[in-house]
Structure 1
Amino acid sequence: MIPLSVKEIQNIPSPRFIKSHLPVSLLPPSLLDTTKVVYVARDPRDVAVSFYHHHKLMRVITADKDFKTFWNYFITNKILWGPYFEHVLEAWEHINDDNMLFLFYEDMIKDLPKTIKLVAKFFSKSITEEEINRLVDHLDIDNFKKNKSVNMKDMQKFGLFSKDGDFIRKGKSGGWREYFDEEMTAQADEWIATHLRDTDFRFPDC
């Protein structure tokens, strides 16, 4: 059963893992004083593509809405869980906090064993090469798609998700290039540059 309230979450025995899409400013103010936080950021163009398919799966947007329409919703903050850059930059401000581990999705894709070691170290856990290899296999996108605890197949069975697609899709980086035309690419470059102008935040090379 997925906890639906703060009270239910509080009743989960410690140590516990809680996933959230909320920005740091909407989480408990003392969170980083008492809790280890792993934050994962992803190229906003790939986020937009992923979120577009998620909206279609959940039937939030109608079939006649193409990706270009959704992209303009995304960059003008007319969707849930935005604005994107405010969300990411709030977390980035805590990059040097002892209880914050800031990861990039692109780095995870590029070198998953390295990421596993970083997370283990962050939680002060020892891990063997054999365990790392098992985790790499467990987290492989093809195995992830088969994992009933994360692939949300029950949501489709109960009619909450459309059957025209999968909750776990491709799991790669740079897939946005298949969706963006020249105009959208230039628009994205300008949008990203504007929001990063006065920051030291930069996305890793994909």
Structure 2
Amino acid sequence: MNKDSVNELKCLNKHNEEKKKLIDFLSKPRSGVIAKKPSPRFIKTHIPMSLLPPHILDIAKVVYVARDPRDVAVSCFHMNRLFNLIQFVGDFKTYWNFFIRNMILWTPYFDHLKEAWELRNHPNLLFLFYEDLSKDLPRIVRLVADFLGKEYNDEQIAGLCSHLHFENFKNNPSVNMDEMKELHWLNPNETFIRKGKTGGWREYFDDEMTQEAERWITDNLKDTDLRFPSAQ
């Protein structure tokens, strides 16, 4: 985050020293914060494999979750409207055109995806599809547990799945960025955790966009055997 953005947030919270301290903490480079955390650590990132440490799969386990790019575009659209420091104010069709032309953060989408797909058989990488999590969460929880060398009984698996059920997840204050709302960091008309469903892109795409997306996906997958699971 640049200094101007940090100063703008501090100005909005100028009468609250605790909030200004929180802004300082949240604006620090995450690499420094992570380095101070004790091992074992869980680190969530959107960074592609090529920008992570070159030997990461020799020293850590990576769970990579892929999602239908049309749903990804919808999710990113709302996230870019959510953060006041980004302030995207256009419609979804405009955003979609930026997305497929690799003109926004976290693109190019397919380069990111195919880097991980090529490593899917590495013993320290688990490649998952978001759509499979939605269809059969208990199976995926067991798969991840096995990958991480953990054992849980049926009751523990059920408890974890309940904790991760979308409605419970959505209402969990540790993931819905309540503290950022208080800092005027977020647009009050948007939410970080929205619907979590698969195939929701159909509510945003007209016929022209749907056909364009099908061509874009086909063109980018023609050199790979990667295929997305069908949505529920």
Question: What SS does the aligned partner of 2:176 have?
Answer: coil
Once the two structures are superposed, residues 113-155 of structure 1 have per-residue CA deviations (whole angstroms, 9 ceiling, x without a partner) of: 0000000000011011111111111111111121111011111
Q: Paired residue for 1:58, among 76, 83, 86?
A: 83
Q: Paired residue for 1:152, among 153, 158, 177?
A: 177
Offset at residue 62 of structure 1 (A): 4.0
**2:219 alignment counterpart:** 194
Q: Paired residue for 1:163, among 188, 193, 201?
A: 188
**1:121 alignment counterpart:** 146
Structure whose alpha-carbon radius of gyration is higher: 2
**2:51 alignment counterpart:** 26
**1:44 alignment counterpart:** 69
Q: Paired residue for 1:142, among 147, 167, 171?
A: 167
User: What amino acid sits opposite 2:191 in the alignment?
Assistant: D
Q: Paired residue for 1:83, among 89, 95, 108?
A: 108
1:105 and 2:126 are equivalent in the alignment: no
- Supply the distance in 2 between the matched residues of 1:156 and 1:134 (Cα, whole angstroms): 29
- Supply the distance in 1 between the matched residues of 2:97 and 2:109 (Cα, whole angstroms): 13
- Supply the distance in 2 between the matched residues of 1:4 and 1:70 (Cα, whole angstroms): 27
Offset at residue 5 of structure 1 (A): 4.0
User: What amino acid sits opposite 2:180 in the alignment?
Assistant: M
Unaligned runs of 5+ in 2: 1-24
**1:35 alignment counterpart:** 60
Offset at residue 174 of structure 1 (A): 0.3
- Supply the distance in 1 between the matched residues of 2:139 and 2:88 (Cα, whole angstroms): 40
- Supply the distance in 2 between the matched residues of 1:131 and 1:73 (Cα, whole angstroms): 43
Q: How many residues align?
A: 205
User: What amino acid sits opposite 1:143 in the alignment?
Assistant: N
Once the two structures are superposed, residues 63-106 of structure 1 have per-residue CA deviations (whole angstroms, 9 ceiling, x without a partner) of: 3x110000000000000011000000001110100000000000
User: What amino acid sits opposite 1:121 in the alignment?
Assistant: D
- Supply the distance in 2 between the matched residues of 1:4 and 1:123 (Cα, whole angstroms): 28
User: What amino acid sits opposite 1:189 in the alignment?
Assistant: E
- Supply the distance in 1 between the matched residues of 2:144 and 2:30 (Cα, whole angstroms): 27
Calculate percent identity across the aligned residue pairs. Answer: 55
Question: What SS does the aligned partner of 1:154 have?
Answer: helix
User: What amino acid sits opposite 1:102 in the alignment?
Assistant: F
Moved more, 4-13 or 156-165: 4-13
Moved more, 76-85 or 11-20: 11-20
User: What amino acid sits opposite 2:104 in the alignment?
Assistant: I
Question: What SS does the aligned partner of 1:38 have?
Answer: strand
**2:158 alignment counterpart:** 133
